[in-house]
Chain A
Amino acid sequence: MEQDWTATGARRGRIFGDLPAVVLRPLVDPLLHRTVTRLAQKHRSIFARLGPHIHTDFIIDPLDLPFALHLKPDPDRPLLKAVSRGALPRHDALIRGRFRTLFDLIDAGEDGDAAFFSRDLLIEGDTDAVVTLRNALDDVDGSIAADTAALFGPPGRLALSVLRRGAAAPVKGYPS
């Protein structure tokens, strides 16, 4: 079964059930801001690899979350925030896939090319920016997901553990 890239596909299997994005975004945005700021401080080498794409606007769209993410990897003012899938801001590149696929990519457990070959990832817009971002993030030693979890102490590590267990299990309604 092929990934369903449509709005119907986005609704199916939502990780936060039917909670509206408008409720979640005020809760999520401070966490995202803290995450991207700390990661930017810790992994400065990412920006050298990004080159001109530190000024590129990326949309990362986990289909089964009720919101997409807007990323601008500017070393001085890194931006990561939740945005409405129905009203995406102006962007240069878009990366869309299941949350688990995207999680596995930042957890260093999935190969981006393999996810692309299997059609688990959809890329639109500036391919050069997407390839550069992928390569820059891949040069981080260890796992960005683990680094992110560590920012939030024991609750973060517990969440990571749950996500990793979930990533190993098939999801109803999605291809295994």
Chain B
Amino acid sequence: MTLAELVCPAGTPAALKNAVDAGADAVYCGFRNATNARNFPGLNFSPDEMEASVAYAHSKNAKVLMTLNTYPPAGEEALWREAADMGVRFGVNAFIVADMGVARYIAETYPDARLHLSVQAAASSPEAIRYYCENFGVKRVVLPRILTIPEIRAIRAEIPCEIETFIFGNHGLMVEGRCSLTNYATGLSTNLDGVCSPPAQVDYRRQAGNCVSSCLAGHVIDRFRDGEMAGYPTICKGRYTAPHRPEGYYAFEEPVSLNLAHMLPQLIEAGVHAFKIEGRQRSKSYVRAVVSAFRQAIDDIAAGGAADLDHLVSLTEGRKQTQGAFATKKWR
């Protein structure tokens, strides 16, 4: 069995070190601006931090994949180009891109640079993936979390590049790269500004009976009763009333995390080259715990054993986990 690469998140240099030391084969991270899809306050890397972090990862034989996975608004492409220029200068191992203009700039300016297609590009068919491979030289696609394992196996047979799949973490999929819900409520776009539910527009309101309401841009999007687990304050995971559901329900997504620990052997067998852990917005303790656990799991599988990572549920959103569409198209 060929081992899959373990690709791990880092929102800070400290998290990157924890990921590398815990056994990450590659770490993905981005600059402290709109060029990446986790543009949260206090998070991400300055140029100096990126340069030093790349050096640290390389000293431990780990790769660094730079996230340039947002879509530049018209006239603002320079920020993305400058980020790519710095990434090349620092020696990152690959760029994770979604926008065709960004992909083209890197492919033409740095023909030796390796491109990975972000999940934000939402390329889920062989035709779409092949388009990026043929036109921009993409070497790996990060698949949207909407495919079953048999579908992944079928796609693998029809594309000329590697496949990376998410195996753990936040599971707000919708149509990735085309989410307009935050933009509708806040005026800031997940896809253009890199920030879903900007914290400056989030507030939590304590109410009687140990209840808490989470609000975005003044809209109450969920209310957690006494003892009820909470989730991220995103519109796609809000609870809403409707004529047929007056009690309120999760109309789009539920606060739940992906955990494919039990499916790793099938994913490897289906031709997946890399396993991705979500969570650049999470702490270094989360990174250390999750990366260590999956490093052990992958090594156990390689040795003919099984992986059991149910204990990671304590780190999951809403303290619930799912295998999502990887197990069945009927998961919702």
A contact residues vs B (CB 8 Å cutoff): 1-5, 48-51, 53, 108-114, 116-119, 122-128, 130-136, 138-141
Top 10 A-B pairs ranked by shortest CB distance?
A: A135-B42, A132-B42, A139-B12, A128-B200, A111-B286, A132-B41, A2-B227, A128-B199, A131-B199, A127-B202
Kindly list chain B residues whose C-beta atoms are within 8 Å of the C-beta of A116.
230
Q: How many A-B residue pairs have CB under 8 A?
A: 109
Contact A117–B230 (Cβ < 8 Å) = yes
Kindly list chain B residues whose C-beta atoms are within 8 Å of the C-beta of A51.
41-42
Known: A5-B210, A117-B319, A140-B14. A112 touches B226 (CB 8 A): no
> How many residues of B are in contact with the other chain, CB < 8 A?
43
Chain A CB within 10 A, most for which of B42, B46, B204, B231: B42
CB of B132 within 8 Å of the partner chain? no
Choice from A5, A109, A124, A136 contacting B42 with Cβ under 8 Å: A136
Known: A128-B199, A128-B200, A138-B14. A114 touches B212 (CB 8 A): no
Output the nearest chain A residue to B42 by Cβ-Cβ distance: A135
Contact B198–A138 (Cβ < 8 Å) = no
Add 16 more A-B contacts to A113-B283, A124-B203 (CB < 8 A): A5-B206, A111-B285, A111-B315, A113-B232, A113-B286, A117-B231, A119-B229, A119-B230, A122-B204, A128-B41, A128-B198, A131-B42, A136-B42, A138-B11, A139-B12, A139-B14
Contact A134–B42 (Cβ < 8 Å) = yes
Contact A124–B206 (Cβ < 8 Å) = yes
Known: A111-B315, A113-B281. A135 touches B43 (CB 8 A): yes
Known: A131-B41, A139-B12. A124 touches B318 (CB 8 A): no
Chain A CB within 10 A, most for which of B12, B281, B318, B319: B12
Choice from A4, A126, A138 contacting B15 with Cβ under 8 Å: A138
Kindly list chain A residues whose C-beta atoms are within 8 Å of the C-beta of B17.
141
Choice from A122, A128, A135, A140 contacting B11 with Cβ under 8 Å: A135
